[in-house]
């Protein structure tokens, strides 16, 4: 069985919009209340209450302190408490692993453009509408997109740029794998071009942020000149949010089309294990790197490969794919980022830098798989981490990397 989510825009009227806003406020209040309760327990060095403990306490508060929560679905605060519990688990797990990216859970604000709540229970999907508990039927902008014959697990209603969406998570049976033409492909990600494959295919980077940066600065300047809390401030804020949403849609559309095509045409995909957080520390390239969406590309490749029965292999983080010659293995240690053509001094090969890197990534899997077949070994434990499993020897005189295969 495979878990999939289908996201569709909603067509709501004023009454339905009020009900959705009530559920959002209910979920936000429950989350902030849970964060404050857990923080008080941490400060007093007591046992941190779980989501179940907080839910029992919240049921008692409904009768006296917060009776307005009865107008919303009970699933909204329940899932908010579970989300708060998961946020604290991620925070403590990050402390053990010394991961600075996972910070302490913060309070949610109603001023944030992204608002959402999650429901479960009696959810019914029809051809052109969806029925949610305590809310009723909501019209869908796209008909016959969400499957009606699958088991529905949950529904998440979100608001962004003054538009409402519903994301339905369903459980579907595993579909049959389609046959592919190519076997192995190496994919080199970059800024100039989004992806360069070892078969010669290239995918352009839309550069959504760079092309709309002037408009974004203009909208941001208009917002900063408005008085906070006024109606003009709210209108200008909505225009800025709409432009941000437009930029993100351009980027997502390009990423989905690129990853889907790579998955459909290849059986094994070899990628670089990039540390995007470390790459973002370069302030000269941080904006361009964030505009590409490197981690989102990897995430889509991974789950789409799982759905279609493909295999994803990651090269080592420090593997010099751009500096090695794909023909003889010579390493150019003086290669700069501005050098777009790779020139080998041993075999006189001249090739595009990104294409050469993708060919080196492809050789990682082909040589390592040959080694496994020759030695009779199986790598069932870590089949997705074949990065540089072949032995490499470096000749100091000729500055050549030699890939050794056990025969």
Active site residue 253: no
Active site residue 188: yes
Sort 273 into a burial class: Cβ within 10 Å, 0-12 / 13-18 / 19+.
middle
Q: Are 349 and 325 in contact (CB under 8 A)?
A: yes
Distances (CA, A) of 239 to 8, 246, 250: 22, 11, 17
**Calculated CA dihedral for residues 91, 93, 99, 105, nearest 10 degrees:** 0
Place of tokens 């051809």: 127
Distances (CA, A) of 231 to 215, 236, 261, 402: 21, 9, 45, 68
Annotated catalytic residue within 188, 302, 334, 352: 188
Distances (CA, A) of 266 to 140, 180, 299, 308, 367: 35, 6, 17, 11, 18
CA–chain centroid gap for 27, Å, is 24
Question: What is the Cβ-side half-sphere exposure of residue 338, based on CA atoms within 13 angstroms?
Answer: 0
Report which secondary-structure segment, H or E, holds 314.
strand 311-315
Phi then psi dihedrals of residue 216, to 5 deg: -65, -40
Distances (CA, A) of 167 to 201, 279, 387: 33, 32, 36
Active site residue 354: yes
Annotated catalytic residue within 83, 85, 272, 371: 272
Residues with Cβ within 8 Å of 8's Cβ and at least 6 positions away in sequence, in order, are 140, 141, 142, 145, 146, 165, 166, 168
Catalytic positions: 188, 272, 354
């Amino acid at each position: 069985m495979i878990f999939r989510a289908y996201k569709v825009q909603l067509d709501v009227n004023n009454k339905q919009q009020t009900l959705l806003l009530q559920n959002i406020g209910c979920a936000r209040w429950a989350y902030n209340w849970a964060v404050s309760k857990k923080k008080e327990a941490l400060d007093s060095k007591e046992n941190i209450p779980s989501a179940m403990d907080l839910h029992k306490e919240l049921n008692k508060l409904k009768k006296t302190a917060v009776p307005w929560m009865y107008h919303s679905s009970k699933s909204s605060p329940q899932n908010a408490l579970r989300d708060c519990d998961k946020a604290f688990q991620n925070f403590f797990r990050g402390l053990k692993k010394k991961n600075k990216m996972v910070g302490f859970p913060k309070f949610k604000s109603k001023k944030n453009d992204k608002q959402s709540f999650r429901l479960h229970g009696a959810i019914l999907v029809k051809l052109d509408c969806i029925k949610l508990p305590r809310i009723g039927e909501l019209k869908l902008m796209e008909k016959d997109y969400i499957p009606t014959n699958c088991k529905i697990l949950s529904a998440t209603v979100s608001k962004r740029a003054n538009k409402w969406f519903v994301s339905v998570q369903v459980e579907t049976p595993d579909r049959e794998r389609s046959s592919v033409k190519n076997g192995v492909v190496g994919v080199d990600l970059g800024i100039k071009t989004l992806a360069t494959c070892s078969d010669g295919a290239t995918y352009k980077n839309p550069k959504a942020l760079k092309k709309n940066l002037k408009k974004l600065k203009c909208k941001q300047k208009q917002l900063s000149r408005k008085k906070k809390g006024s109606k003009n401030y709210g209108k200008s804020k909505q225009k800025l949010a709409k432009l941000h949403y437009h930029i993100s849609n351009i980027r997502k559309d390009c990423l989905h089309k690129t990853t889907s095509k790579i998955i459909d045409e290849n059986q094994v995909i070899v990628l670089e294990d990039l540390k995007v957080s470390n790459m973002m520390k370069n302030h000269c390239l941080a904006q361009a790197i964030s505009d590409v969406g490197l981690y989102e590309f990897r995430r889509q490749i991974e789950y789409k490969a799982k759905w279609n029965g493909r295999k994803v292999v990651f090269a080592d983080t420090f593997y010099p794919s751009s500096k090695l010659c794909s023909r003889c293995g010579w390493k150019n240690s003086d290669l700069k980022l501005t050098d777009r053509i790779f020139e080998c001094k041993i075999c006189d090969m001249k090739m595009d830098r990104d294409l050469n890197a993708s060919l080196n990534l492809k050789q990682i899997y082909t040589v390592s798989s040959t080694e496994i077949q020759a030695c009779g070994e199986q790598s069932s434990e870590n089949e997705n981490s074949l990065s540089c499993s072949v032995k490499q020897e470096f000749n100091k005189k000729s500055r050549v990397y030699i890939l050794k295969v056990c025969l």
